[in-house]
Amino acid sequence: MTALSEKNKIGIRFDGFRFLRFGFEQQDDIDTGEDFNVEIGTNIDVDKAAIVVKVLTTFTRKNIDKIVAQIETASLFQLKGIEHSEDHEGSEKLPDGLLVTAISLAISTTRGAIIAKGCGSFLEDFLLPIVDPKSFLPKPDDRSKLIVEDKILD
């Protein structure tokens, strides 16, 4: 017989990170105090044993209304101890707290990776803003859009 505390243990392990795209146009004429618009979007792919959180970041110079960088990353998380209940045409139902944790870690890792890889460019001076990872959760109606794939991050 399994104790209740043993049965409800969920494991999540950060298992990989990579840049899917890292494109920018060097900006040598940035004025002190110039504003940039930084947009962050996420896409969550769910497998029976893994979550992939893709983070797309776009940097736009406000004064000339020009996109000067687009960066996309993927963070892989392995799952353990999840009881898979299927609803909405085969989509995995995962606890919101688990998805918030994965989203938060993916955005934070992307923030640090952009600083490291953008060193020596204008990107090292423009950090991703601190955001509420809950705001990136799929809405209840969009839960069916979580993609169940057999293979994630080849």
Domain of 81, CATH number, reads: 3.10.420.10
User: What's the confidence (pLDDT) of residue 85?
Assistant: 54
Is there a domain that residue 148 lies in? no
Q: What is the DSSP letter of 139?
A: P
Is there a domain that residue 150 lies in? no
Round the average pLDDT of the chain to a whole number and report it. Answer: 83
Is there a domain that residue 4 lies in? no
Number of separate domains in the chain: 1
Using DSSP bridges, classify how beta strands 86-87 and 66-80 pair: parallel, antiparallel or unpaired. unpaired
User: What's the confidence (pLDDT) of residue 31?
Assistant: 85
pLDDT at 47 exceeding the cut of 90: no
Angle, CA of 102, 106 and 111, to the nearest 5°? 150
Is there a domain that residue 110 lies in? yes
Q: Tens digits of per-residue pLDDT, 51-86?
A: 999 999 999 999 999 999 999 999 999 998 766 555
Q: Tens digits of per-residue pLDDT, 77-111?
A: 999 876 655 554 444 567 888 899 999 999 999 99
